[in-house]
Every structure is written in C-alpha cells, then in structure tokens.
Structure 1
Amino acid sequence: MTIEKIQQGDQLTMSKDIVADNIEKLKQLFPEILTEGKIDFKVLKQVLGEEIEEEEEYYRFTWAGKNRARQEAHKPSTGTLRPCKEESVDWDSTKNLYIEGDNLEVLKLLQKSYAKKVKMIYIDPPYNTGKDFVYKDNYKDNLGNYLELTGQTDSEGNKLTTNTESDGRYHSNWLNMMYPRLILARNLLKEDGVIFISLDDNEIENLKKIGNEIFGEDNFVANIIWQKKFARANDATYFSTMHDNIVCFAKQSINSNKNSGWKLNLLPRTLDDAKGYSNPDNDPRGVWTSVVLSAKSGSDKLKYKIISPSGRESYPPDGRFWSVSEEKLQSLIDDNRIWFGRNGDGTPRLKTFYSEVQSGLRPNTIWFHEEVGHNQEGRQEVKSLFDGKGYFDGPKPVRLIDQILKITNSENDFLVMDFFSGSGTTAHAVMQLNLEDGGKRRHIQVQLPEATDEKSEAYIAGYKTISQIGKDRIRRAAQKILEENPEKAKGIDLGFKVFKLDQSNINAWDGERDNLEQHLFNSTESIKEDRTQEDVLYEILLKYGLDLSLPIEEKIIAGAKVFNVGFGAIFICLEDKITKQVAQGIGEWKQELNPETCRVIFKDSGFTIVEKTNSLHTLRTFGINEVRSI
C-alpha cells in the first residue's frame, strides 16, 4: 500500500472535466466508437445512421464566438473557493452559501459537489442595456482575468467595462457571456429542476433561442410578463414600458418526459378566489357556481330532452350537445348537482362546488404588481433595511421571488441558487418563506465583487463592492426576521457561509529557468505559504464533490489537528509533524463513527519516510485503504 500524492493539475485539483464525463457517457452507449483511447468520429456517424445533419444550410442560431463559449463551459477550472469565516453568519450550523467571485469559474467549481442537486435557479443577469455589462470573459485565463479585474493581482489597466451598441459585437458579447453559464447551470439542476431568468426586451429573443438550444425546445415552459411599474411614463419615445420578462425552462418538462419532468406547484387559494360562488339552495356542501351543461361536440344520443322541475322542456343550443348522457344526468339530479334556477324553470346547469375544485390555482403568464410587487417595492425593501438609504439600483421585490419559490415545488426542503445575486433578494425571499411555512429550503448566492460608483451613497457609506451590499442585506434581513419573530425564527437557517474565488491552494510546478531555484524550493512545500488549513480543507471538499455545508468536526490527536468531514467520510490532517499516533487516533475515531466509506488525506511534507510507512500500516489495521497526500 502506498500513498497517492495529489499535485496541482491532476484530476483532484481541478473542477469536474465535463468533456471527459461526456466521452465516458458516449463510451457506455457506443463502446465500438473507442479506438486506442480516442473517439472514432467516423464510426460514431455510422452508428447514428441518417440522424446527422451535414448540410451547410439548416436551421440554427449562431454568432461570433459561439464555439469558444461552448468550449469554455467544458474547460475545467484550477481555482478554488476560500472560506471567509469573519464575513459569515452562523458558520458552524448554516447550510447556506454566499460565494464571491466570477460566476463562470464558480459554476465550474461547483460541478462536482452540486451536479443534479439544485431544484430551482433564479437569475437576474445584466440586461445588456449598454450600461450594465461587466462580465468580460477572457477565455485564455478566466481566473487570472478575474483576479486582475478585481484588484487581487497586479493590474495592467484593465477595468470592468460596459457593452455599448457602438461595439461591433454588441449582441455577441452578451451571448458569449450567457451561453457557457447556462450550460453549466443546467448541469446543476435536478432532473425535475427549473430555471427562471429575468430580462427586459433587449435580449429576450436571443435568450429564448439559446435557452431552446441548451434546455431543449420541449422544455420551454413560459415567458412570464411581470408588471414592474404601476405609473405610466409619458416622456417615453413610443410606448411606456411597464414590464419585464421572466423566462422559464425546465430541465425536463412533463411534455418531454411524463414521469420525471418538473411539476408546477399550484398557488394557494385565498378568500378572494371564492368570489362568484354562492349557495342559494343552502346545499350542505357549501358555496358553488354553475357552468353550462352543453358541449361543442358529441353524438346524437346527447341531443335528448331535459324536463325541468317546473315542466319546461330544454334542448342543447343549436350545433351543441349535452355534455353528459341521460343516465349520468339523472345521477347528477339525484345528487342535487343540476341547477334549474331559483324557480325551477331555467336551462339546466352543472353545479361546481368550491370545496371540490383544485386545491390551488395555476399561475397566469401575466403577473401584476398587486400580486408580486414592483420595482419601487423592491427599492423600498432595501431602503428599509439600510436606514432609508438606497444603496442598490433595481432590486427585485421579495414577493416576486416568493411566488417563484411557491410554484417551484410543494416540498419545502429544496436547494435554490442565484448566480447573479445582486442585492440578495433571493436569499431574503428564501428566509422569509421558510419562516412562513417552516421550510428547510437552502440557498446558494454567487456575486461578482463589482465595484460601486465612487460617487454613490453605497461607496460613501463604505460599501466598495456590490457583493458587500448583498452580504449585508442578507444579514440585516435575517436580523429583522429574528427580531420580529423571535420564537418562530428559532428553527430557521438565517446564516450563510462566505467563500471567495481564488487560485488553488496547491503550488503548481513551473520549470522556468529564471526562477528555477525558487520553484525547486516551493516544490518541497505543496501548499502555498499564505493559505490556511481550512483553505485546503474546502478545496479538497470541492474536488471530491462534497457539499460545502457538510458537518466538519475538529479534534487534536497527538498534538495534530484532524478534520472529520461528513461523520467520518474523510479525515484530513495537514500538520507538519504527523506520526503513527495520529494515524492511530484517526483509526479509532473511524471505528467510533463507523462510516460506510472512509478515506484519509495527509500533507505529504508532514511525514518522515519512516512515519509515513508506519502510519499506512496503522490505518490499514482499521480497514482504511484509501490514503492520499497533498
């Protein structure tokens, strides 16, 4: 038994390799296409037969840079997410995450840990109005570009910029930003998951097209019109724009898959929904309304005569038929479900009881501001949390996200994600709804630390980035919930763990001759000098595909700190002086917890050769055979 060493650049120190994963799936389906470890595309074409489009002219949607954008979605990231406990709330107990960084790289890093685990994604991306475009991807080195643009490395004058119409690739730039992110987002959705995307009319046609391509046309659910304003703008050039769009795609819709597609949850009924119902005959089943008893189509058997209690004869209107047979009609009359009017001489109608209709309402595709709020309401919500200061432009109202959460699923323990988090409305809505119904919904927020305007109220108040506003908004919203509902809020997760995107904690080998001596020195220490054990711990979780909110317990064993992740799934020790006594303590801890599987990860330079051999032997006696080192 030997310890396999983990090095920067191997599979464990990179995010999920989606290309390799897709190739493996193809190999499982068509093993004959594999030749000497490569895919034989000619054989694949033969296997697929005539279901291949090879003509130059066919229906498709393309733009400048599309191929590179697609490739970028499948390229692994070598970055990591570093924990930031000092900015977090309830670090040890919360299952919510707030990740600060470029969402393209963050989505890549989450592929292993959260693939097919997210129930609902809501995003409010840049609308491409010419003033709000800040995601200038550099496909050569996205991570390095991000660190440079946010001032985390030496700058060469690059800045976050807008995407104006004078740019020759105005729409292409926006599409290249959205395309890889939506590909990665789809991977994170559960098979019955759903995504909602807010947008105005600038890019709505393009969004629908790339959405159809990524999710499939059959999985387009709806384009919801949200009335974001309630006052007419008479200074508009043409029409007063009152709405935004919210485009909805399912991972799998019930149209494409009857068994496992997304099933919409009905909206709860209110007393207002009972308007139009009454009970003029004092029916013990409660209030009811009546509907016509005729139908557009039928057979001659459904054109019979009906005699009312007063003796009046009724027939279906010209060109129509009764909707039930004579036998069925008689059973309905016997059950007091046919209404002939107060005097018993009216045209027969079928009674429909309020108590027997669906338990909820199907949402319309037009959402009025009275139902779900408007832009001004969203601004007032933020102001109320920041002592009347308007630190954020255009936040969505909590009621809007609340409605999306309610129709997503009737269960109350699903995972919600927003990777254009902005002011944090999605996190606020999750906490508020959990308070209302006792739910256990979790959320993941991702936000670029985009700089605030130096002349803005936010900057003057000390908020240098949008992410600082977002984190503080969630803290303040949680505190308000706790103060207003001290007893009810006790069981609600009002915290969040903060992580920040950065380069890997593990030193990479670089053979440049100019710095050879320094690199040789660094190669003896695999972990970077400015990184903590917790930094490395969470990178290991990411690369092993483990949830970042897993319970982690610390224990000092023979003078060394040991992390226990997931009740014994992984034991990690990153100390400098590791002995067989540490291995003995880990083995005993493992026996106490009795996990189904167990692996151990050590810091490679923390061993002497003798202690490494002894530790391996000790661990083996406890049934631990998977041991790796960094």
Structure 2
Amino acid sequence: MEKRALHSPDLTARNVERIAELFPQVITESRDAEGNVTLAVDFDLLRQELSDHIVEGPQERYQLDWPGKRAAAFAANAPIAKTLRPVREESVDFDTTRNLFIEGDNLEALKLLQESYLGKVKLIYIDPPYNTGNDFVYEDDFAESSADYLARSGQRSETGDRLVANTEANGRFHSDWLSMMYPRLKLAKNLLTDDGVLVVSIDENEHASLVRLGEEVLGDASYVGEVVLKNSSKNDQAYVSIQHEYIVFFVKNRQANAGEWVEKKEGLDKIYAAFDGFRKKHGDDWGTINAEAKAWYKTFQPSDAVYGSKHYEWMDARGIYFASDISGPNDGQYVYDVTHPATGEFVKIPASGWRYPKDEMLRRIEEGRVHFGEDHTSVPKNKTYLANTEYQSLTSIRYVDGRAASKRLAALFGEKVFTNPKDEFLLRDIYRAVGVTGDDVVLDMFAGSGSAMQAVLELNRGSESSCRFIGIQVAEDLNETLKTAKGAAKQITTNAIKLLARLGRPATVAEITKQRMRLVHEQLADDLLLDSGFRVLKIDTSNLVDTLAAPDALVQDTLDGAVASVKEGRTSIDLLFQVILDWALDLSEPVKTERVADRELLSVADDALIACFEDDISDSAVRTIAARRPLRAVFLDAGFASDAARINAEQILREVSPETEVRTI
C-alpha cells in the first residue's frame, strides 16, 4: 500500500526534473544542508544555455570541464545567416530521391537542420577526427558575440570552413577536440527521435573523453556500452600495442529504447553446410558426426565468425545442437531419479538438482530433447538447437579485417583513393541490430568516404525497409592533406587528387564522398525498388542581401512586410529551399516545377507548399494557386507591382483558400 506524503509536492525537485529533461548538461551534484549528495542545477551553465553571449563565473563542481567549454556551448546556440542551396547537376535522381548529401561545415549544417529534422533521426553515426596529432579538426571561432557571429557568417562569401591540424604541440590538445565535439553533439541530440541512438567510432586517444562528453550532453544514463573492434595485429608501440578501436553507443531515452538489440550470428551458412555434409557422409552415426565436427571447428581461428559457434558440435535428426547445462538455478530445485536409456541405471543428478519438474523432464526425454552420455555416470544435458538460437544480443567484441573495406572501396574506384574507410557491412549490421527499419533516417555528420551512407543502402537491399540517409562532409582540401601525409597515405591522397582532376572536380574529400555514392548507385541500378540516389545541398550565405538575422526570421508572417532583395545569381530553386528550411519542411520532399498562367510555380510535396518567385505576379497566377488550396504559399515581395496588388493577392487567397498560410520574401 502506498504511503501518502503528509506535505505538499516538492516543487523544487519537480522543477529540477523538468530542467533536466530540457538541459541535462546543466544538472550536477551538490550537497544539501545535511551533507547528503543530491542533484542540483548549475545556474552558470543554465544561464549560458539561455544567453546570447559567453557567461563567466565558474565554480567547483563534479563535471567534465576544460578550457573553452563555455565558448563551445555558446557556439551551439549562436544563430547563423546561412542556407542550403540545391545542386541538381551533382545529384543523382534529384527529383525522386529521399537521401541527402550536405557539403559544408557540419556545425552549420546541424543548425540548419534543427527545425526540419527535430526529433526525426533514428540513428546518428559519427566518425570524428581521432585526435591522433596528425588529423584535422574544425577550428571554430568562439571569441565573438552572437551578433558578431551572425554578421560574420552572413557576410562571408565562402562557407567558412576552417580545418587545422591539432598537433601534440598544441597546449590545448584535448580541449580543442572537446570544444569541437561539444556543440555538434548538443545539436545532434535535438535531431534524435525519442528512441534514437548515437553511435561514435573512436580510438584510445579520446575514448574516455567521448564517453564522459556523451553522458554530459545526453544524460548520465545515455551511455549503454561499446563494441571493441580487433582490427590490427601491429606490434610497434611503446607500453601497450593498441590493436583495436571502439564503437561507442548512447541512447537518447532509456525508457523509450529498452535496448532489445539483437544480431544474427555470423558463419551460420558455413556451419549448416558442413553438418549437411557430415550427415550425408555418416548418416545417423551421431558420435562420428560429433568427432568430425570437433575437428572441423579446430580449423578456424578465433577471428572467424564460425569459431564463435564451435560449441554447437552435436547433431540429431532435429538438427545441430549444443549440449548445455540442465541443472536447476537454485540448490535442490527438483530432485528425482532419471534412468539412462541405454544402461537402465539411474544417471548422476546435478548438484543443484534438475532444471525441470519431473513430468516436463520425462516429456523432453521422450521427445529426444535431452542429451545423454555413453552411460549413467555422466550428467545429461539440454539440447539447445542452433536453429532456435540464430540471434544473439549485440556482442561487444568484433574481429574486423580493416583491409576488407579498403579493398572493396579500391575496387569500386579502380584504385585506392581514401585511407582507412569504415566497413559499410559492419555499419549495416549495427543499424539492423539497434532497430533501424521502415523509413527511419540515419545521419552521418563526418561522412568521409561515405561508408555510413552506403550502409543504409545495403540495409535496404532485399528488404522491405526504405531507410534514408543524410550525409554531411566539409570540403576538406586534399592538397592541404597531402602536405602532411606520409607513406601509403601520401600516395593514396595523390591518387584521389588525380582522379578528381580527371573528373573535372575540386580536390576535396566531399567530392570523393559524392563520387563513391555515384558509383554505388551505378552498381545498384538494377534494383528498381531501391532508392540509391542523393540530393546534393551546399551550405552558403543567405539568398537575401543585407540580412543579419536567423534563418527563421528571413520570411514574414503576412504579406505586409518590407521588401528584401535577392542576391545576384540566386535562382528560384535556391529561394525555395531557403523557404523549405524556414517552414521546417523535409528537405527531401519532391519538388515539381510547372508553368501556370505564364508564370513559374514550384510545388513541394503535392502542394504542401507552392512558391511563385516571378518578378511580375499576376492576379490569374494568384487565383490558380488559391484554387489548388495549398497548405502554404510564398511569393517574392518585389514581384508585386504595387501595394494594391499585394493587398489584392492576399484578399484572393483569404477568400478562396482561407486555410493557406501565406508569406513573402
């Protein structure tokens, strides 16, 4: 019976819980008046979350801290005057695909995606710079106010991507890496579905920092484990020769994601084929089959998937099985005599008794589900059939030949053009294990060679799922990479630069990503049900001149607004995608261009949005749009000849389609 509290609710505790739901990173530990450890709010951090400038005033507390942390938090919240411009000529199946590739700084990309994909991404995969001292990291400029940040991002003509080598000589080696990751993880969290999963590849250099950082951003309960990849046999390091990497898992909400992650055991086809051969050779001589199976399993190394199932060494008419423990979980669970079928004597009873009641045990014996030894001196075993145990929990140890993914990528391009690509089949299996299915969205903010994007296509092949990917990759200059590359990496980078030169494309990592996905599309072209295309979007400054405002302020709520000029060279499709962002629509929605009343109309998602950016908007065009009763309509403000024309258009839409939300730019 629940005991009633003889006092009013603890509103402070309730408010702390509410703040924790919104800003888990501001929750810390403190001591109350009695000296007990309790949860508390770090008001300095909370002030930072709600401020448009860097807030000073730290105090000692239990938390992950580093120089530049407050500036990194500020960077996550600072607005930008940027947009996404579609590039049809670099895309594949632009009009029909649901996949996206965004070229540009991933911090800016994540900010631009905040509204359109808020709470819509099932899995975010990150393969960030490992901070080895040789790789490049983003150098974000935090030493400015919100207004300065916005002004700079709006006035720069380039994307503003800045990459620097974070060498050991840098006094803020780990701090710079943390400051780079922190705002990106904060923004990524917002995109995850309630049951969403964050998956991060990392090595020993920043593994500990990553786990602590993930717990701070997503909450203490978010870290759920990791997979250790045995991917090397090198023996050339001081102290301990590191021969593995990590794949670290976080969940956004444990209540929404119970962790029922399973994977199919590998090597099953080999095992079934081998036992079929044993059966054909030896018939029902189960002992001989067992002896040959044991010898066969010994031919495999521990790194082979078959080795993990070597305990399934027996076979009967029902199938392959493992002779498992049949004793009870508690001492003296069930104690009774069992007769050996061959000797007629009572068999040895397990020390803790039998697992099953006598009636059930006799039934299992009759059905042939109990494995007996040669005589009564051994304890019988359960028969656990391989066919019933093909799936297992996601396991924490993996043997992965790192050369396999490199060889497949080299075969795709015809030569090696990327060092150490991630294994697309391993990522596919991870997606499947954690429950990525249906039309779920997978986002990779450090797309690199595109392995995580291809893994989505591999997941969809031959299945009923139609999952989508969003890949983000900065246009990292390969010529700069070449300056510090050594050994094989130097030759591979040279190959990439030459390949892109032959294709007439810039020498950047983003171009390698796109080219890989084009080649994959060609390979999969015969699968007509598979969406293997991708829509290319590039981060650029706002389409409107002299605009120092956040993207969602670039459009107006009514037709009564100031006229904003469009930058030179910006097209109607450029304007449309900025409006799509402003209205928080899905960037992969189909876009249809048509001529109506001698005016160009752009329709998004079957008239969820109709745009007309003509310089001379006629009444007949407005009436045609109104007759289609779109959910939203947008016009170029300068397209109206006069205020009277603008007011008349608004009146037409109000009368014919009152439910249509109307804006101008």
1:77-103 deviations in whole A, cap 9, x for unaligned? 321111111111111111111100100
Give the distance between the partners of 2:436 and 2:573, measured in 1 at CA: 37
Give the distance between the partners of 2:164 and 2:419, measured in 1 at CA: 18
Conserved 8 A contact 2:263-2:433: yes
Counterpart AA for 1:627:
V
2:193 aligns to what SS in structure 1? strand
Conserved 8 A contact 1:378-1:398: yes
Counterpart AA for 1:574:
F
Structure 1 counterpart of 2:544: 506
Q: Per the alignment, do residues 420 and 146 of structure 1 end up closer, same or farther by CA in structure 2, a change over 3 Å counting?
A: farther
Structure 2 counterpart of 1:116: 119
Aligned-pair CA distance for 1:386 = 2.3
Structure 2 counterpart of 1:514: none
Task: Give the alignment of 1:173-252 within 5 angstroms.
Answer: 173-229=176-232, 232-252=233-253
Matched, 1:615 2:649: yes
Conserved 8 A contact 1:191-1:251: yes
Counterpart AA for 1:248:
F
Decide which moves more: 197-206 or 435-444. 435-444
Q: Per the alignment, do residues 262 and 616 of structure 1 end up closer, same or farther by CA in structure 2, a change over 3 Å counting?
A: farther
Matched, 1:362 2:397: no
Structure 1 counterpart of 2:409: 382
1:416 aligns to what SS in structure 2? strand
Q: Per the alignment, do residues 509 and 210 of structure 1 end up closer, same or farther by CA in structure 2, a change over 3 Å counting?
A: closer
Matched, 1:457 2:495: yes
Give the distance between the partners of 2:427 and 2:338, measured in 1 at CA: 51
Structure 1 counterpart of 2:528: 490
Percent of matched pairs sharing the same residue: 34
Structure 1 counterpart of 2:95, from 92, 96, 109 = 92
2:623 aligns to what SS in structure 1? helix
Give the distance between the partners of 1:180 and 1:159, measured in 2 at CA: 16
Aligned-pair CA distance for 1:467 = 0.6
1:102-161 deviations in whole A, cap 9, x for unaligned? 000100110111111111111110011112123000133667778999x828x9xx9632
1:193 aligns to what SS in structure 2? strand
Conserved 8 A contact 2:340-2:375: no
Structure 2 counterpart of 1:63: 66
2:528 aligns to what SS in structure 1? helix
Conserved 8 A contact 1:583-1:618: yes
Matched, 1:529 2:535: no
Task: Give the alignment of 1:75-474 within 5 angstroms.
Answer: 75-139=78-142, 140=144, 152=158, 160-229=163-232, 232-253=233-254, 257=255, 260-267=257-264, 270-272=268-270, 276-277=311-312, 282=317, 285-298=318-331, 300=332, 302-309=334-341, 310-318=343-351, 320-341=352-373, 346-355=378-387, 357-369=388-400, 373-374=401-402, 376-388=403-415, 390-409=416-435, 411-437=437-463, 439-453=465-479, 456-461=494-499, 462=501, 463-474=506-517
Give the distance between the partners of 1:28 and 1:303, measured in 2 at CA: 51
Give the distance between the partners of 1:244 and 1:398, measured in 2 at CA: 16
2:634 aligns to what SS in structure 1? strand
1:179-215 deviations in whole A, cap 9, x for unaligned? 1111111111111221211111111110010011122
2:540 aligns to what SS in structure 1? strand
Counterpart AA for 1:329:
M
Counterpart AA for 1:473:
R
Give the distance between the partners of 1:312 and 1:354, measured in 2 at CA: 30
Counterpart AA for 2:662:
V
Give the distance between the partners of 2:348 and 2:378, measured in 1 at CA: 12
TM score, norm. by length of structure 1: 0.80
Give the distance between the partners of 1:533 and 1:114, measured in 2 at CA: 23
Give the distance between the partners of 1:281 and 1:86, measured in 2 at CA: 61
Q: Per the alignment, do residues 554 and 27 of structure 1 end up closer, same or farther by CA in structure 2, a change over 3 Å counting?
A: farther
2:115 aligns to what SS in structure 1? helix
Tell me which of the two structures has the higher relative contact order, counting C-alpha pairs closer than 8 angstroms and 6 or more residues apart: 1
Structure 2 counterpart of 1:480, from 511, 515, 523 = 523
Counterpart AA for 2:405:
G
Give the distance between the partners of 2:152 and 2:215, measured in 1 at CA: 30
Give the distance between the partners of 1:575 and 1:233, measured in 2 at CA: 64
Counterpart AA for 2:522:
Q
Q: Per the alignment, do residues 569 and 99 of structure 1 end up closer, same or farther by CA in structure 2, a change over 3 Å counting?
A: same
1:364-389 deviations in whole A, cap 9, x for unaligned? 211102xxx41x2232223222222x
Give the distance between the partners of 2:41 and 2:450, measured in 1 at CA: 44
Aligned-pair CA distance for 1:296 = 4.9
Q: Per the alignment, do residues 581 and 244 of structure 1 end up closer, same or farther by CA in structure 2, a change over 3 Å counting?
A: same
Give the distance between the partners of 1:125 and 1:68, measured in 2 at CA: 20
Aligned-pair CA distance for 1:459 = 2.5
Conserved 8 A contact 1:225-1:245: yes
Aligned-pair CA distance for 1:58 = 4.1
Structure 2 counterpart of 1:600: 633
Give the distance between the partners of 1:180 and 1:301, measured in 2 at CA: 56
1:603-628 deviations in whole A, cap 9, x for unaligned? 11111222212212221222235211
Conserved 8 A contact 1:138-1:145: no
Give the distance between the partners of 1:225 and 1:289, measured in 2 at CA: 27
Give the distance between the partners of 1:589 and 1:28, measured in 2 at CA: 47
Structure 2 counterpart of 1:13: none
Q: Per the alignment, do residues 260 and 225 of structure 1 end up closer, same or farther by CA in structure 2, a change over 3 Å counting?
A: closer
Q: Per the alignment, do residues 301 and 404 of structure 1 end up closer, same or farther by CA in structure 2, a change over 3 Å counting?
A: closer
2:524 aligns to what SS in structure 1? helix
Q: Per the alignment, do residues 434 and 159 of structure 1 end up closer, same or farther by CA in structure 2, a change over 3 Å counting?
A: closer
Counterpart AA for 2:625:
I
Give the distance between the partners of 2:548 and 2:367, measured in 1 at CA: 85
Conserved 8 A contact 1:278-1:289: yes
Q: Per the alignment, do residues 203 and 468 of structure 1 end up closer, same or farther by CA in structure 2, a change over 3 Å counting?
A: same
Give the distance between the partners of 1:340 and 1:134, measured in 2 at CA: 62
Give the distance between the partners of 1:107 and 1:457, measured in 2 at CA: 31
Give the distance between the partners of 1:443 and 1:148, measured in 2 at CA: 31
Structure 1 counterpart of 2:583: 544
1:490-545 deviations in whole A, cap 9, x for unaligned? 2211211111111111233589xxxxxxxxxxx85432223111111001111211
Conserved 8 A contact 1:570-1:599: yes
Conserved 8 A contact 2:79-2:149: no
Q: Per the alignment, do residues 239 and 340 of structure 1 end up closer, same or farther by CA in structure 2, a change over 3 Å counting?
A: same
Structure 1 counterpart of 2:303: none
Q: Which runs of 5+ in 2 are unaligned?
A: 1-13, 20-31, 44-58, 273-309, 483-493, 550-561
Count residues with an aligned counterpart.
547
Q: Which runs of 5+ in 1 are unaligned?
A: 1-24, 31-44, 512-522
Counterpart AA for 1:599:
R
Counterpart AA for 1:589:
R
Q: Per the alignment, do residues 277 and 199 of structure 1 end up closer, same or farther by CA in structure 2, a change over 3 Å counting?
A: closer
2:116 aligns to what SS in structure 1? helix
Give the distance between the partners of 1:346 and 1:315, measured in 2 at CA: 6
Counterpart AA for 1:364:
T
Q: Per the alignment, do residues 145 and 363 of structure 1 end up closer, same or farther by CA in structure 2, a change over 3 Å counting?
A: farther
TM score, norm. by length of structure 2: 0.76
Give the distance between the partners of 2:349 and 2:270, measured in 1 at CA: 33
2:472 aligns to what SS in structure 1? strand
1:560-593 deviations in whole A, cap 9, x for unaligned? 2111112122111111111211111102223xxx
Conserved 8 A contact 1:102-1:146: no
Q: Per the alignment, do residues 195 and 615 of structure 1 end up closer, same or farther by CA in structure 2, a change over 3 Å counting?
A: same
Give the distance between the partners of 2:115 and 2:427, measured in 1 at CA: 27
